[in-house]
């Protein structure tokens, strides 16, 4: 029963992140650089230590995000799965349970997700994109700073107390 | 009697004073509690007042939209904005009306101030609107005085630019920018924005920068212009 509730809470986190992002960007347009769905995918990857969860959460969140956005269907899903796989790889090499490693993972993932998304826009949608270094770094820092307390919160919800 | 009465008098006086002090203390305590209750009630009333003020403002906005709706040549429906974009790369809004009430892809969306954007996805109960400020958006526009026609390109923020305005056209700052109707999405004559600057280039077109009339960041209610003709 407890395990079921924990799995249910994981699904709830997945489902809540995208609507939360939509509401946040409406009320606070400056928070657009925050990528809550990406933070959720990274967390689920390192918490569950399973590629199934990476692909499942990445595709579900990406699909939901695409359906509420102007991006072509699949672009966010591809980005989220790729970043999730990177997090899975990092988690198998380093112990992603300390503040600094988590900060580093979130920071790097945010920058790579942005670059990957822009690359997809250039290659798939034939857009001319300008990569702004300052904005890229800022979004990395913002995502890492918001992600850390969220990870702590998710730890309390998802992980059993004895872990 | 002469001995006892002063004592009795002072005793009664003391008791009266003590009683007064005690009652004063009790009253003070009650007044404190009453004060706390009144403060809570005041906060509740203030909250109610704020919600009524918000309702009055909303009714005012809806009334203006109703008037605008009645004056339009195409049928329109009022929708509420219920969300922003789910990623940082696009400028879009989610509205609470969809296919159920006739909101379909490419329906124009306007506010009392001017053009807002167009519907790009529509589900039964909601729709995604691409804002006119989105970098991927485009709209056929014309300048009110010079009648020069061009294509509006979003700039990501409240600014936008118009492409394909020839250098021989006289463009004045402050001139109104209207929809031309040539894109088959926005009906002709809707206000889009105002010219901020026009800089001639060495090529055949000039750089025309405009500011969008609609306050995109503070959108709450919008009008969706339906595709079907008014019955």
CATH of the domain at B189: 2.40.10.350
Q: Do A70 and B120 touch (CB under 8 A)?
A: yes
Residue B1 is predicted with a pLDDT of 67
Chain B (183-222) residues lying within 8 Å, Cβ to Cβ, of chain A = 217
- Shared-domain flag, residues B86 and B33: no
Residues of B in contact with A39 (CB under 8 A): none
- Shared-domain flag, residues B167 and B204: yes
Short-list A54, A30, A21, CA closest to A150: A21
The DSSP output letter for B212 is: E
- Shared-domain flag, residues B162 and B128: no
- Shared-domain flag, residues B128 and B221: yes
Query: In Å, what is the CA distance from A109 to each residue of A87, A136, B84, B168?
Result: 8, 11, 23, 50
Q: Do B88 and A32 touch (CB under 8 A)?
A: yes
Sign of CA dihedral A27, A31, A32, A34: negative
Q: Do A24 and B84 touch (CB under 8 A)?
A: yes
Query: Least CB-CB distance to A69: which of B81, B86, B217?
Result: B86
The tally of domains found in chain B comes to 3
Residue B230 lies in a domain: no
Note down pLDDT in tens along chain B; length 231 residues. 676 777 778 878 888 888 888 888 888 888 888 888 999 888 888 888 888 888 888 888 787 777 777 777 788 899 999 988 877 778 889 999 999 999 999 999 999 889 999 999 899 999 999 999 888 888 999 998 888 899 999 877 778 899 998 888 888 889 999 999 888 889 888 999 999 998 888 788 898 999 999 988 888 889 999 887 655
Give chain A's mean pLDDT: 85
- Does residue A33 sit at the B interface (CB-CB below 8 Å)? yes
Residue A93 is predicted with a pLDDT of 87
Q: State the count of interchain CB pairs (< 8 A) between A and B.
A: 65
Q: Do A139 and B81 touch (CB under 8 A)?
A: no
Alpha carbon distance A65, B167 (integer Å):
42
CATH code, B98 = 2.40.10.340
Q: Do A32 and B93 touch (CB under 8 A)?
A: no
Residues of A in contact with B121 (CB under 8 A): 67
Q: What is the dihedral of CA B115, B116, B118, B124, to 10 degrees?
A: -130
Residue A57 is predicted with a pLDDT of 86
Q: Extract the tokens encoding B193.
A: 């924005």
Domain that residue B105 falls in? 74-133+217-225
Angstroms from B86 CA to nearest CA on chain A: 5
Residue B165 lies in a domain: yes
pLDDT tens-digit series, residues A25-81:
888 877 888 889 999 999 888 888 888 888 988 898 888 888 888 878 888 889 999
Q: Do B85 and A22 touch (CB under 8 A)?
A: yes
């Amino acid at each position: 029963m407890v395990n079921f509730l924990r799995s249910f809470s994981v699904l709830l986190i997945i489902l809540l992140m995208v609507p939360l992002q939509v509401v946040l960007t409406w009320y606070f347009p400056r928070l657009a650089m925050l990528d809550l769905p990406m933070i959720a995918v990274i967390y689920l990857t390192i918490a569950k230590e399973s590629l199934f969860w990476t692909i499942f959460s990445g595709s579900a969140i990406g699909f939901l995000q695409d359906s509420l956005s102007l991006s072509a269907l699949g672009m966010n899903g591809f980005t989220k799965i790729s970043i999730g796989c990177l997090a899975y790889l990092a988690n198998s090499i380093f112990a992603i349970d300390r503040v600094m490693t988590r900060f580093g993972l979130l920071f790097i993932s945010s920058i790579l997700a942005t670059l990957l998304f822009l690359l997809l826009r250039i290659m798939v949608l034939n857009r001319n994109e300008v990569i702004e270094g300052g904005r890229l770094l800022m979004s990395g820092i913002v995502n890492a700073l918001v992600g850390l307390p969220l990870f702590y919160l998710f730890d309390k919800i998802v992980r059993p107390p004895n872990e | 009697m002469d001995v006892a009465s002063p004592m009795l008098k002072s005793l009664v006086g003391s008791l009266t004073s003590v009683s007064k002090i005690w009652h004063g203390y009790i009253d003070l305590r009650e007044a404190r509690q009453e004060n706390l209750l009144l403060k809570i009630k005041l906060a509740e009333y203030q909250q109610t007042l704020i919600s009524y003020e918000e309702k009055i403002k909303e009714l005012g906005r809806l009334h203006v939209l109703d008037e605008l709706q009645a004056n339009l040549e195409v049928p329109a429906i009022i929708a509420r904005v219920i969300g922003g974009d789910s990623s940082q790369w696009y400028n879009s809004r989610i509205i609470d009306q969809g296919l159920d009430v006739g909101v379909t892809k490419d329906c124009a969306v306007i506010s009392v101030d001017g053009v807002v954007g167009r519907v790009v996805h529509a589900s039964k109960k909601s729709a995604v609107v691409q804002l006119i400020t989105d970098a991927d958006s485009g709209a056929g526009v014309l300048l009110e005085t010079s009648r020069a026609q061009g294509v509006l390109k979003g700039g990501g923020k409240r600014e936008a630019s118009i492409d394909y305005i020839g250098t021989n056209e006289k463009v004045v700052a402050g001139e109104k920018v209207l929809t031309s109707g040539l894109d088959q999405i926005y009906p002709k004559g809707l206000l889009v924005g105002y010219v901020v600057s026009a800089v001639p280039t060495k090529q055949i077109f000039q750089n025309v920068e405009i500011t969008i009339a609609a306050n995109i960041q503070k959108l709450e209610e919008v009008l969706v212009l339906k595709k079907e003709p008014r019955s």
